[in-house]
Structure 1
């Protein structure tokens, strides 16, 4: 290896060692709450995690659609700040939601797709091998879970949406042929067949094709009062999208407005007054207004929303009219405006990205005031406490302020959005698999605040610094540590093999090849490891089978970036009884290492790749060269049950270790002093007495408040929120 190593021969004081079995304990004295979603699910409701498109009915009912919601609310129905319904059967068994939606007086038309799950589904309901069907599902407005079948309809023969799917395009499974725009009257349905560069017109009642005409990669469609079509077109053009205007027969009109430079049009809608509104997801983050001038052309008539949206002045501060990733707009008959956002904008072609969290807002245009807002802000996203303030909580891209005096579900306020895709397009998170930062670790050292984040399965460690005076709430990309190269062509300069790191040496937040340091000789030994950052800022990497490495912080550079080197790294050998390490937490203040993993008695196998393991152990005097194995405990573990009982995450705070189970909605609590299990916490009735899987390696965190209470945060993979437990030890 290129770096100097210190392989520490671990000796263990085994005499009198306490081995604690997993035993059932009495229920702890705790309450359940949540962060990041307007609904807790105790009432059967949740705000969906993404909204790619909306359609607004005259009475103000909003119909939303997205390709994916973890609990099946790809189609959601909202009115007056409440959720009314979920459109079923767009999730699983080959079904997925979509990127467009429209309504008329009777029906909801929602874009969706039907696949065959890697050729595993066969029969008339599914496309042939290596193919996907893209099209439209027709539902009843009176019951969006109920299909409205038609003679040529296909699909879903075993559920309530039987024969209600219109196949618009059959494409190879590697092709993104999604319908990107829909509009409807009571007589005609207009469908943007984006991949085939055409708009197809169907009879809205019989769903028979009437005609089609050419439009370059069309997206959203708005119908004018005169029956003409206004279209976001050129969705896949390198030069960017523009606005087109067409008669219903496809005849092009030449009066569409030329958009300002930098505009990224994502949706368009007409207000009852006849004014055209165009959502701009470019740097302006506004809704551009156009009115018909005396010369017959469409002329700019102002804009709605704060220029630069959430990034205006104090960057990353949410608020009224501060838009962030506009995906859909619409008006009701009273003139109220509805705006959908996901912190990203429309789903990029060829990806399955779901944005940075959904926000759906309504504004009363007369008073220009907020009517209502719904949030679904987290997905596959953990949360962590600011070590200086337990009322300050960060996720990968959000900051929440907590007021513990409020009732459950009302304690959180969305206080900051920390990812600025315009100022820092090289943020490594934007180039990762999900396009999101993931699990946070918040640290303060040298008097400054830092954010470290892990991707879903801990392959990469992102490093961020803060500069409130210049960047407000935004976390500035500062560094990146990779166990192996990223797939694809980003960044230029990364090695083809082995681990590497980047530090923002010039302070511009961009990744340059000359700022990358590689360490290819360790590529095979550090892969699939688990990162941990301790309080002083040292970076630890638990390799599965080669022990634990520490990379001590080498201070901050001139731009305030933490510095690490491979040469200064220290290696610690695999400690008994483990033969595979899955998770670690190192407490620097007491020189204590907590480890979970596998042993010879319960060995690891490939089917347990996500698990934290069946054994938890504490080691004292870890860095001394002669650490002491103080205790080890058996964790809940039953891989033959249904559901399986396994572990996935660990957090340590005060005198307790908190273990998150993977498939079962439970957090188990152990005493750090003895290893004894003291009890468990499960979701309360106000969150539906359930939660989704903890589907990330670092899905749990904990803190002890000044009053002695413990607060535990757990990813809820199912319903776009963070589960929060507040526990008062007996």
Structure 2
């Protein structure tokens, strides 16, 4: 597509031409920082966004594995609160990470899979059409980026992991046959072939199969000093997983403990003292310690962690021993404990979910104190400022407190986890595509805080209220707006056609069929629209081609839920010169509407479905019925470039409009009063002068601080964080 032509507008409008590549970069006074990750990438390091399993070496080195990290750190190596290495070659070209990891004195063994990119890759390095290989990559512990080949090994001949992949199972594409458990001694490697219902033993050096035996859906494995295996098996049983005990030859032993009711075991390890340690991802969110009793049975001797973990009073408050979705545990030779969490627990079967953000921490057991902790807690997350204070920043499921006087990357403190999967399993977040809340908007009215969130592509708007006295930091599901029915069976009672909304009429935070209101009259006309909530709490929907609709806040019901109705909605016709709207921001205090999208001169291209469009316009006196077009501005837009230059997000604060570009790591700034281009923000050295693409519709936000400076937040999926710019206009 060529750059858009100069737009024809009303004679009273001021027109501004701002095409991306031709804009002269103005020198701006700003700094770059970040939120949500222990490392900013200025030193080349980042904490991976998910940890599904860990292996701990005697010296305290922690090896972590996950099926996905946006920048390829599925395998990460950590020690003493620092990141030491990235395994690599588990990302792209058919490769993906996995759900298990183990180590001996020489090798690292990590679960992974090799696919063929929907049959686009072929040859000996890749499975045949419509198949995936599931197995284990063997690496050198001395250099985890280097494969450790063996005679029967396969793997990509184009990189350092050539001939170092052990194929455990072939499966049809779409079948989850992931290896879910690994354990290793210097002589043998034990593998949970979870899909095949067996444990397979390989020679740790030659990788030749030695033996196997049947075990129902086995998962994590722990090797005891007596060479017996403790296994979490029956992973998919209706009653939940259990603990099993086997001799090394597969003979079952009958001394495994019966776990407390409600326990959901996710990992196990042995302390140097010999205690069997079991991670519980059930409601208790604790670590269970078992010792051998006089009668030979394994008896529960102690628990570690606050009961209910992060949901212990005050609910949703992070802190020492307040676990949240334990995925891995382990000990070093000194008895220090290591715990991995992702706010969810191990990846559900058949799921591509990546958790709610990774936390990896260590505890000194002699004093029961935290030694270090690493965070990679944001992914496909935007940020929003509390209207009462820019020192509070919310994401979909978290809140951070800010001290802007600190050094870059040190300003933020992880203050709250607002998503409660135990008390509110019907939270719409758990039933949307990624299992997260997504982009937040924070509003205050009637003296209360409300959280509104968008999914990645703005199809759904969720509403949350807070009740600090009883629910602490947790955001209670309060309402939901859907442009179209959700795919699948949730929720029961949703209409089969048209838009619908839900309000928690009985105040229990659960979605009930009798609380759903349908609006079939709009049909599909509101689909692919963009939601916005203004400061007074009115809900706006910018439809692609049918104008803009406002649903005014009708007050709060007896449970504190915001009330809306389709009958009270007001629709504004498509504002000239737009033919299609992509984004909007309405500022109620000044009755000003900002719109981005497409015109007849700059037409919509369906292949650029994520974009915010090449044109920005401001309208004054919007609600009067006769809005005045103040100006239009052509935004950066060059689809023939390399990289392409397109826009993806808009934020308005103070006297400026902030436009996030999709591929080019820029936030462009325009003066709200004139539409004139002011300058651009790009990542600085503290974040490695780089960021990822902005993947979501509402990927940028901004606020003006009391001192007149601006804070701008930008989604940075690439390395599990938010970029933060602090800018003082000249």
Residue 660 in structure 1 maps to residue 660 in structure 2: yes
Residue 15 in structure 1 maps to residue 8 in structure 2: no
Of 235-244 and 18-27, more deviation after overlay is shown by 18-27
Which structure 2 residue ranges, 5 or more long, are not aligned? 1-7
Work out whether residues 465 and 477 of structure 1, in 8 Å CA contact, stay in contact via their aligned partners in 2. Answer: yes
Please give the per-residue CA displacement for 1:478-533, whole angstroms capped at 9, x wherever unaligned. Answer: 00000111111111001111111110000000010000011123231001110000
Which structure 1 residue ranges, 5 or more long, are not aligned? 1-10
Superposed, 1:288-367 pairs within 5 Å as 288-367=288-367
The offset of 1:124, in angstroms, is 1.0
Work out whether residues 14 and 674 of structure 2, in 8 Å CA contact, stay in contact via their aligned partners in 1. Answer: no
Instruction: Report the Cα distance in structure 2 between the residues aligned to 1:15 and 1:181, rounded to whole angstroms.
Output: 69
1:223 alignment partner in structure 2 = 223
The offset of 1:20, in angstroms, is 3.3
Superposed, 1:171-210 pairs within 5 Å as 171-210=171-210
Please give the per-residue CA displacement for 1:568-618, whole angstroms capped at 9, x wherever unaligned. Answer: 111111111111100000000000000000112221111110000101000
The offset of 1:655, in angstroms, is 0.2
Partner SS for 1:310: helix
Residue 26 in structure 1 maps to residue 26 in structure 2: yes
Instruction: Report the Cα distance in structure 2 between the residues aligned to 1:274 and 1:462, rounded to whole angstroms.
Output: 48
The offset of 1:407, in angstroms, is 0.7
Instruction: Report the Cα distance in structure 2 between the residues aligned to 1:83 and 1:21, rounded to whole angstroms.
Output: 42
Work out whether residues 462 and 480 of structure 1, in 8 Å CA contact, stay in contact via their aligned partners in 2. Answer: yes
Please give the per-residue CA displacement for 1:518-575, whole angstroms capped at 9, x wherever unaligned. Answer: 1123231001110000000000011111111111111111000001111111111111
1:132 alignment partner in structure 2 = 132
Please give the per-residue CA displacement for 1:306-326, whole angstroms capped at 9, x wherever unaligned. Answer: 111000010000000000000
1:675 alignment partner in structure 2 = 675
Partner SS for 1:285: coil
1:276 alignment partner in structure 2 = 276
Instruction: Report the Cα distance in structure 1 between the residues aligned to 2:448 and 2:160, rounded to whole angstroms.
Output: 56
Partner SS for 2:385: strand
1:78 alignment partner in structure 2 = 78
Cα 1:302–1:16 shift into 2, 3 Å: closer
The offset of 1:13, in angstroms, is 5.2
Work out whether residues 13 and 631 of structure 2, in 8 Å CA contact, stay in contact via their aligned partners in 1. Answer: no
Work out whether residues 199 and 212 of structure 1, in 8 Å CA contact, stay in contact via their aligned partners in 2. Answer: yes
Partner SS for 1:64: strand
Instruction: Report the Cα distance in structure 2 between the residues aligned to 1:25 and 1:277, rounded to whole angstroms.
Output: 58
1:37 alignment partner in structure 2 = 37
2:592 alignment partner in structure 1 = 592
The offset of 1:102, in angstroms, is 0.1
2:4 alignment partner in structure 1 = none
Instruction: Report the Cα distance in structure 1 between the residues aligned to 2:185 and 2:14, rounded to whole angstroms.
Output: 75
Instruction: Report the Cα distance in structure 1 between the residues aligned to 2:16 and 2:30, rounded to whole angstroms.
Output: 27
Instruction: Report the Cα distance in structure 2 between the residues aligned to 1:420 and 1:17, rounded to whole angstroms.
Output: 49
Residue 644 in structure 1 maps to residue 644 in structure 2: yes
1:450 alignment partner in structure 2 = 450
Partner SS for 1:196: coil
2:3 alignment partner in structure 1 = none
2:499 alignment partner in structure 1 = 499
Please give the per-residue CA displacement for 1:354-388, whole angstroms capped at 9, x wherever unaligned. Answer: 00000000000000000000000100000000000
Instruction: Report the Cα distance in structure 2 between the residues aligned to 1:475 and 1:349, rounded to whole angstroms.
Output: 27
Superposed, 1:548-627 pairs within 5 Å as 548-627=548-627
Instruction: Report the Cα distance in structure 1 between the residues aligned to 2:241 and 2:94, rounded to whole angstroms.
Output: 31
Superposed, 1:37-186 pairs within 5 Å as 37-186=37-186
Partner SS for 2:315: coil
Please give the per-residue CA displacement for 1:131-165, whole angstroms capped at 9, x wherever unaligned. Answer: 11110000000111110011111121100101111
Work out whether residues 64 and 101 of structure 1, in 8 Å CA contact, stay in contact via their aligned partners in 2. Answer: yes
Work out whether residues 285 and 309 of structure 2, in 8 Å CA contact, stay in contact via their aligned partners in 1. Answer: yes
The offset of 1:646, in angstroms, is 0.5
Instruction: Report the Cα distance in structure 1 between the residues aligned to 2:370 and 2:257, rounded to whole angstroms.
Output: 29
Superposed, 1:393-472 pairs within 5 Å as 393-472=393-472
The offset of 1:239, in angstroms, is 1.1
Please give the per-residue CA displacement for 1:29-88, whole angstroms capped at 9, x wherever unaligned. Answer: 000010000000000000000000000000000000000000000000000000000001
Partner SS for 2:607: helix
Instruction: Report the Cα distance in structure 2 between the residues aligned to 1:427 and 1:87, rounded to whole angstroms.
Output: 36
Instruction: Report the Cα distance in structure 2 between the residues aligned to 1:584 and 1:673, rounded to whole angstroms.
Output: 17
2:383 alignment partner in structure 1 = 383
RMSD: 0.9
Instruction: Report the Cα distance in structure 2 between the residues aligned to 1:169 and 1:327, rounded to whole angstroms.
Output: 24
Partner SS for 1:400: strand
Instruction: Report the Cα distance in structure 1 between the residues aligned to 2:269 and 2:680, rounded to whole angstroms.
Output: 51
The offset of 1:17, in angstroms, is 2.4
Partner SS for 2:604: coil
The offset of 1:629, in angstroms, is 0.5
Instruction: Report the Cα distance in structure 2 between the residues aligned to 1:287 and 1:586, rounded to whole angstroms.
Output: 49
Work out whether residues 653 and 703 of structure 1, in 8 Å CA contact, stay in contact via their aligned partners in 2. Answer: yes
1:4 alignment partner in structure 2 = none
Partner SS for 1:594: strand
The offset of 1:341, in angstroms, is 0.2
Work out whether residues 222 and 231 of structure 1, in 8 Å CA contact, stay in contact via their aligned partners in 2. Answer: yes
Instruction: Report the Cα distance in structure 2 between the residues aligned to 1:21 and 1:297, rounded to whole angstroms.
Output: 75
The offset of 1:15, in angstroms, is 2.4
Partner SS for 1:145: strand
Work out whether residues 392 and 399 of structure 1, in 8 Å CA contact, stay in contact via their aligned partners in 2. Answer: yes
Instruction: Report the Cα distance in structure 2 between the residues aligned to 1:545 and 1:14, rounded to whole angstroms.
Output: 24
Partner SS for 1:509: coil
Work out whether residues 583 and 649 of structure 1, in 8 Å CA contact, stay in contact via their aligned partners in 2. Answer: yes
The offset of 1:12, in angstroms, is 8.1
Partner SS for 1:494: coil
Structure 2 length-normalised TM: 0.98
Work out whether residues 420 and 474 of structure 2, in 8 Å CA contact, stay in contact via their aligned partners in 1. Answer: yes
Instruction: Report the Cα distance in structure 1 between the residues aligned to 2:155 and 2:331, rounded to whole angstroms.
Output: 33
Please give the per-residue CA displacement for 1:292-351, whole angstroms capped at 9, x wherever unaligned. Answer: 000000001010111110000100000000000000000000000000000000000000
Work out whether residues 25 and 677 of structure 1, in 8 Å CA contact, stay in contact via their aligned partners in 2. Answer: no
Instruction: Report the Cα distance in structure 1 between the residues aligned to 2:699 and 2:438, rounded to whole angstroms.
Output: 9
Instruction: Report the Cα distance in structure 1 between the residues aligned to 2:50 and 2:380, rounded to whole angstroms.
Output: 12
Work out whether residues 12 and 626 of structure 1, in 8 Å CA contact, stay in contact via their aligned partners in 2. Answer: no
Work out whether residues 55 and 63 of structure 1, in 8 Å CA contact, stay in contact via their aligned partners in 2. Answer: yes
Instruction: Report the Cα distance in structure 2 between the residues aligned to 1:700 and 1:652, rounded to whole angstroms.
Output: 10
Work out whether residues 48 and 358 of structure 1, in 8 Å CA contact, stay in contact via their aligned partners in 2. Answer: yes
Number of residue equivalences: 720
